[in-house]
Amino acid sequence: MNRSMSFSFSSGVRELRAFDHTAQQWGTWLGGFPWQFFCTATYKRKMALAQTESSLRAFFDKLGRALGNTPVAYVAALERRTSGLGMPPIAAHWHFMYAVPEWKRGMSAEVAKELWRSRNGRLNIRRYSSAQFGAFYTSKLAAHGCEPELRFDNLDRLTYRGPHDLFEAAKASAYVPDHVKHLTYGQTLVLRDLSGEMEGGAAPSLCI
């Protein structure tokens, strides 16, 4: 899903990419929440999948308690890959977005860094910006194989501001290829102009 191939044309460089309806719909929905931070969380040791699950839950539980027993709204996607087909393995790690009450936003970043690094490994944390396509990058991982390895909690504490009809939103999106706007699922290939990413892009700046 995340593989690509670049081609040079007289009009510039384009990249052949896969487009996936499920990933697009996940990204549209996830992008409708007012996230505050986008994070990449890795481990300093090899972790079993059950351990990554428990460590994520423990992290957000501890973060909430450290912020005065405040439930943290989050969505997390697990990224991992075994070696094969000429591709190197990728150790399991998380990409997640979270939000807390506005008056606790500033302190939450430092607390989150310390909590994750002291128990697990490295945490890259940055302010969330819808212009950087963090929700769509997360959705590509969530929709892989149409079997989401997605975890979330406390979304009811956030106000959803995105579209309620994901099919209509896809038809109106300039990122969705014209030849599949009438479909609700499936994959296709499309040439993307690298001179400017649009909604639903691969977000190169977030591919850590």
Give the CA radius of gyration of the chain: 18
DSSP state at residue 75: E
How far is C-alpha 23 from the geometric centre of its chain's CA atoms? Answer: 10
What does the angle CA 46 – CA 47 – CA 53 come to, to the nearest 5 degrees?
Answer: 160
The residue among 61 and 11 whose pLDDT is bigger is 61
Give me the domains of the chain, ranges plus CATH numbers: 20-166 (3.40.1310)
User: What value does the mean pLDDT of the chain take?
Assistant: 85
Q: Which of 126, 108, 125, 118 is nearest to 66 (CA)?
A: 108
For every residue of 153-205, which 3-state class applies, written as one string? ECHHHCCCCCCCCHHHHHHHCCCCCHHHCCCCCCEEEEEEECCCCCCCCCCHH
pLDDT of residue 159: 97
pLDDT of residue 194: 72
Compute the distance between CA of residue 128 and CA of residue 108 in angstroms, rounded to an integer. 13
Model confidence at 137, pLDDT cuts 50, 70, 90, reads confident
Q: Whole-structure pTM over 0.85, yes or no?
A: no
pLDDT of residue 205: 36
pLDDT per position as a tens digit, 173-188: 999 999 999 999 888 9
